[in-house]
A and B are shown apart, each in its own frame.
Chain A
Amino acid sequence: MTNDRHLEVSVRNIGLGVVLIGEEPVAPAGGASVSIPGATLDFDPALPSRLPSCLIADPGVAAPLVGQIYGAAVRDGVIEVCGDDAAEVTCRVEWQPPLTLLTQLAAVRFCQTSSALPLDPGLLRLEELALLGELEGIVDPDDEGIDDLYPMLEAVMSRQELMEAACRRPSVLRLLADALDILAGTLPLPDERRDVTLQWLAALDEAHETHRYQAPEWLSYLSPELALAAGGEPLAGRATADWGDVPVGLLSRREGQVAWEVQVDDAGAAVEVVAKSAETPYRLLGEPDGYLAFDLVSPEWPLPLVAGNLKRRGADWVGAVRLGDNAAKRLRRLVEDGATFDVRVRSGDPQPMPNPISAEARRWTSRAVFALRLGYVLADEHRLPAASESLGRASSLWELADDQPELEATRELMRRAEALSESWGETLTVAESVLIDG
């Protein structure tokens, strides 16, 4: 990583005693944040060597931790400016050991929210918890606790078939051993769960690390020419479930992975939706269930016309629902007026719907980042052109969305990709490496 460079960073009071280290990153592929007591760190995981910014709400509490992350000079800078509104100093950064762990944690969180790959959410969560365990004393214990670590490990270790499947994959086995080691070391000595954890550790085979990586065929969707085109008939078509709407690991991350059709008859109207499941071959906790729903929407109508649930059926998620009488009449009228329709697939409790052009731009930026991450490890010369093409597509979309900061950040990413000036593979998660374990 380029974090070996001697970095300097600005530390300034932005008013009313709030201090900002660095600049809030523009992260066109998606950002990630970590909470430490009294402050929040914001990362751009697409550029793992970039220093995270830190917004400090409580300098008194956060300053010692800032010292453990950015070094003593930055800590002193925070103390210097916090009492004086609009004060600013420039400080030398010393990349401290916890910052490496925090950067890896940001990479895991980036994969959870913005992954272009259908990664295993179980592996991502386990790696997140293991990192949080290692960062005990740095992260906010109230907000970033590891209470889930025991039940999650219990779920794997108490089921023979899951444990054996995990032991067949060196990177997973290593993560399991690390997580159990952290759990055993974090549980207080009189806690009986500590003895159970030590028994689980003894039951694991020794890991035999191998580095024979191989890319599966379906990874080709990371470049634009092979993406499926959206669109179709007015009452049928393909849609893309946005990654902000659907948790990683349930659906494929291809464009156009959702097929839908509205059928209008004398009795009314009904809509049917089929969405493709994630392609990932391995799941730490077995095939997960989830809460997926869909809305039938039209740009010419301010609200959804109908909403329905999706259920897993084989390799797909399917759902169907009839429109109410008024909604069916409204649909007919909209069809007569030449309206277009679309389906939004979403989780049970989604975020507000993003601008569709910006959302697509973010997806292409993310695909490029994941092509670079995997390409770095695979030493695959075809990944760079794939990333460049995806970044080119993303740039034109950001331009169309008139989003100048994201456009500039995407172009900067493209420059760095072409100059190969980042070590993308160094923050590769176990969930990613499992996809390419040869």
Chain B
Amino acid sequence: MTEALERRVARWLEQLPGWRDVAPYGGGLSAKLFSRRLLCVRYRKAFPEPLLSGEWDRLDTWLDVRCDEIVADAQAIRSAIDRACDKAKRESACLKVNELARRLVDEAARSRLRDSGPTAMELDALADTYLDNTPAPERQLTRKRFETFAPEYDDAWSRDGAFNLLKHPYSAVLLGDDERPPFMKTQRENMWDGLGRSVYYRSQQAIQDDQVLGDAEQIVRAEIARTCGRLGLIDESALVVLYSLMMGILLATQEALKGKNNRLSRASVQPWESGEVVAADEPPVYDMPLTNQALIQFAESVMGQFCRRSKQGQYLRASSQMYRAEAHVMRRAWTDCFAEDRRGDRVTGDRAEQIIRRAIYWGIRSGERHILARSAYITVDPNDGKSTIGVPGELDLDQVNRALDWFAANPQVGIGIVNGDEECIAQYCDAIEAHGLPTLEDIKAFISKGKA
């Protein structure tokens, strides 16, 4: 009944004379917000027992009796918002009215639950505090202003970025294609772009992070330098985390596919002290240049646990989709390392443990949701207004059909590729150029999606 209760209360508010003046569209305060966060909370406190559908009369009476007080609260909130908006305009502050309204309504609810009402002074004080904490004008960055940094990015990329990309390719840790990150993008961006996210997006994220110091110009310069760093990062501790995590999840995936149990207790995988993680003096393993054995072991253990215990892990393993899970893990971990890096923090052992656990237990689930959502994305062409659902296939179907035709004549190779037979894989690789077939990775992905 909660949903119905909120709707009914919101409708009651909307039919009040003058409600639209108190809660104009775009003004932050809405009937839904006021109903959900203030009136329903109060009503449920007064009548905590389960609601029955026949009890609307009681609700209506409760509302009617308090009508004046409800209107007074809404008007007090309206005044506080309007006052804060005027101040924000004068000071060019970055105010979001919804956020402010939410805080004011919550404050009013707290006040009413204490049996007093919110005073104008209390609400104004809260709005002032909120306004004081909004980003200062010198931290605001428009696209137009950002565009002036393009030559700086070009210079930094040719000086450092290209070299670092060569030495630390993004694809080696599943963070996207080995291409220079774009300066700006016109389409949708989010964390799943890996290192393909634009410098503009990185700068906006840094600006919104109140732990990042500096004005907009300083932040953009720092982000240009970071984008050109090794794996888009400056501090080596973050690189150690990423390379060790990559190594750990690869080991775990191999073990999981073999059905081995690599369970470790928490105590046995925490050999680090509280300091920053550093790379071990060991030769690089599997071309991972900077790794730490303890972190590898921890990552392997957490990933192994995920594959064994969670339904998602079991599904991904059974459907040969672990490569997808690995990419989700690395992207989430990079995002966390990126946040540490832009704040100038080095990654400690404890923080590395957190990053790894988040990357596996949170990154895979949210990554899978993202993939599911991507297939239903609706995009609108800004030129002609035409909408399109989903994303195009990554493979050219003519090329796929050449491969399917080739497999029809070489059936054992298709089956061998699925089973990981090295001889069959070599045979397919030999045929790629001669017959114009898709790459091995592409055809493996295609085959894995076409099997029941």
A residues at B contact (CB < 8 Å): 1, 3-5, 14-18, 24, 33, 35, 38-40, 55-58, 60, 85, 95, 97, 100-101, 103-104, 109, 112-113, 121-122, 124-125, 133-134, 136-137, 140, 142-143, 145, 147-148, 151-152, 154-155, 158-159, 162, 177-178, 180-182, 184-190, 194, 197-198, 201-202, 247-250, 285-286, 288-291, 293, 295, 297, 302-309, 321, 323-327, 329-330, 344, 347-356, 423, 426-427
Contact = CB atoms under 8 A, between A and B. Distances in A.
Interface in B388-429: 388-394, 397, 400-402, 404-409, 411, 414-415, 418
B94 A426 contact: no
Given A143-B370, A180-B25, A295-B450, A249 B389 contact: yes
B391 A289 contact: no
Interface stretch (B35-43, B165-173, B237-245): B35-43
Contacts of B92: 190
Contacts of A133: 98
B369 A352 contact: no
Instruction: Identify the interface centre among A189, A197, A323, A423: most chain B CB within 10 Å of its CB.
Output: A189
A306 B389 CA distance: 24
Contact of B401 (A55, A95, A147, A307): A307
Nearest to A209: B11
Given A185-B26, A290-B389, A304-B404, A137 B361 contact: no
Contacts of B97: 184-185, 189
Given A17-B357, A189-B93, A353-B452, A113 B372 contact: yes
A112 B372 CA distance: 9
A38 B358 contact: yes
A426 B25 contact: no
Contacts, number: 290
Contacts of A143: 190-191, 366, 369-370
A39 B94 contact: no
Contact of B37 (A97, A202, A250): A97
A348 B393 contact: yes
B119 interface: no
Contacts of B99: 136-137, 185-186
A155 B365 contact: no
A40 B390 contact: no
B373 interface: yes
B114 interface: no
A100 B2 contact: yes
A347 B401 CA distance: 17
Contacts of B447: 303
Interface SS majority for chain B: helix
Interface string B57-81: 0000000000000000000000000
Interface SS majority for chain A: mixed
23 contacts: A1-B3, A4-B50, A15-B305, A33-B369, A122-B378, A155-B387, A158-B385, A185-B99, A186-B96, A186-B99, A188-B95, A285-B387, A291-B390, A302-B415, A302-B451, A303-B414, A324-B401, A326-B408, A327-B408, A330-B408, A347-B390, A351-B375, A423-B4
B405 A323 contact: yes
Contact of A184 (B25, B370, B406): B25
Contact of B380 (A152, A185, A352): A152
Instruction: Identify the interface centre among B94, B385, B388, B414: most chain A CB within 10 Å of its CB.
Output: B385
Interface residues of B, number: 100
Contact of B26 (A162, A198, A305, A323): A198
Given A143-B366, A305-B408, A324-B405, A181 B391 contact: no
Nearest to A187: B96
B98 A136 contact: yes
B364 to A, nearest CB: 9
B431 interface: no
A69 to B, nearest CB: 13
B360 interface: yes
Given A143-B190, A247-B390, A289-B387, A40 B3 contact: no
B309 interface: yes
A348 B391 CA distance: 6
Contacts of B404: 303-307, 324, 327
A205 to B, nearest CB: 12
Given A24-B311, A285-B385, 15 more contacts: A5-B50, A17-B266, A33-B366, A40-B362, A57-B358, A121-B376, A125-B378, A177-B25, A184-B27, A197-B26, A247-B376, A248-B376, A304-B450, A308-B397, A348-B393
Contact of B362 (A38, A134, A201, A303): A38
Contacts of B376: 112-113, 121, 124-125, 247-248
B51 interface: yes
B16 interface: no
